[in-house]
Amino acid sequence: MASKEVQFEKKKSIAKNKTSKSKHGLTFWAFVGPSLFAFSLVILIPLILGIYYSFTDWNGIGSDIKFIGFENYIKTFSDEGFRNSLFFTIKFTFVSVISINIIAFVLALLVTRESKISNLLRTIFFMPNLIGGLILGFIWQFIFVNVFNVVGQTLGQEWMMGWLSNATTGFWGMVIIMAWQMAGYVMVIYIAGLQNVPPELNEAAKIDGASALQRIRLITFPMIKPAFTISLFLTLSNSFKLFDQNLALTNGGPGNATQMLALNIYQTAFSYNKMNLAQAKAVIFFILVTVITLVQVYITKKDEVEA
């Protein structure tokens, strides 16, 4: 009788475990299912279709689609406008990533010091990130065109006049607007990293005679490397994908000299109605951003572990 009761209890326990697992499974899919469906509908399926269309002669309208192989990719690499946009995007990303991270780190050091207005400063520095890209572009367009022209004429500074009509100053205008918008956001990440640095380390180094720069270089930098990894990833990807600000501020001008890759793809698709060519450019763009960001994360993560 005892053995039968034990077997019955075992079967009952197994049945309970199965019921519990099924309930957990239903709960899991109840929460994950809608997000997975939205991700598949908005991201995954368009990505797969885009890759397919990049190998066809699709014009975005007709249903008569022919497979043409790598012809679109060959045309893309032979497109001088695409190559110029690629070079400009890489140059812009390099300068933007450095400037944003330096400014954000300095701001983080500033607002983590003991001060009565530190919270106010954090709010002020973060606020530009809340402004939409198009609105931000038009605001700075007004500043660079109207305000700079008035100030330049008043003070006799010709370099301030026609700021966006020149390729060089247009480039720096893009860098300024990107740094102004993102520095506050990246600052928050660095603040989180700085707050995890044990104050005892800095106090001990200060007693031993280490200067402020030495404490930052030898203690702060190694301790906040995870924050650097996240910040570099975000600034790299956002700089490469910049579109709204580029469209609103310069629209690629003068003469497409400040045209980013995203704007080049947009104009290829909707200004010239070459959807197949735009899809090929988008696939190349996707691969480029993916490879660069993955390499960056690998290198910084590896350095993080070694540290």
Assigned domain for 71 exists: no
What's the pLDDT tens digit per position in 213-234? 888 888 888 888 889 999 999 9
Range 278-286 average pLDDT: 93
128 vs 114, which has greater pLDDT?
128
Assigned domain for 39 exists: no
Confidence check: pLDDT of 102 > 90: yes
What pLDDT shows up at residue 14? 56
Range 144-163 average pLDDT: 86
Range 77-103 average pLDDT: 94
Assigned domain for 70 exists: no
Assigned domain for 145 exists: yes
Confidence check: pLDDT of 242 > 70: yes
Q: Give the chain's domain count.
A: 1
Taking a C-beta distance cutoff of 8 angstroms, is the pair 76, 280 a contact?
yes
Burial tier of 129 (Cβ tally within 10 Å: 0-12, 13-18, 19+) = middle
pTM of the model: 0.84
Name the nearest CA neighbour of 172 among 84, 101, 250. Answer: 250
Q: Is 162 left (phi over 0), alpha (psi -120 to 50) or beta?
A: left
| Phi, psi angle pair for 70, to nearest 5° | -90, 15
Q: Which of 1-5, 100-104, 216-220 has the highest mean pLDDT?
A: 100-104
Task: Give me the CATH number covering residue 96.
Answer: 1.10.3720.10
Domain limits for position 235: 79-306
15 vs 246, which has greater pLDDT?
246
Mean pLDDT of the chain: 86
Assigned domain for 135 exists: yes
Assigned domain for 33 exists: no
Band of residue 307 on the pLDDT scale cut at 50, 70, 90: very low
The three-point CA angle 176-282-33 to 5° equals: 100
Assigned domain for 2 exists: no
Question: CA-to-CA distance for 263 and 239, rounded, in angstroms?
Answer: 13
What pLDDT shows up at residue 282? 93
Q: Residue 199's CB: how many other CB atoms inside 10 A?
A: 8
Band of residue 23 on the pLDDT scale cut at 50, 70, 90: low
173 vs 30, which has greater pLDDT?
173
Confidence check: pLDDT of 1 > 70: no
Assigned domain for 12 exists: no
What pLDDT shows up at residue 88? 94
What's the pLDDT tens digit per position in 115-133? 788 889 898 999 998 888 8
Question: CA-to-CA distance for 196 and 297, rounded, in angstroms?
Answer: 21
Taking a C-beta distance cutoff of 8 angstroms, is the pair 260, 246 a contact?
yes
SS3 67: strand
Which residues, including other chains, have CB under 8 Å from residue 121's CB and lie 6 or more apart?
Answer: 110, 111, 115
Confidence check: pLDDT of 253 > 80: yes
What pLDDT shows up at residue 11? 53
Confidence check: pLDDT of 148 > 80: yes
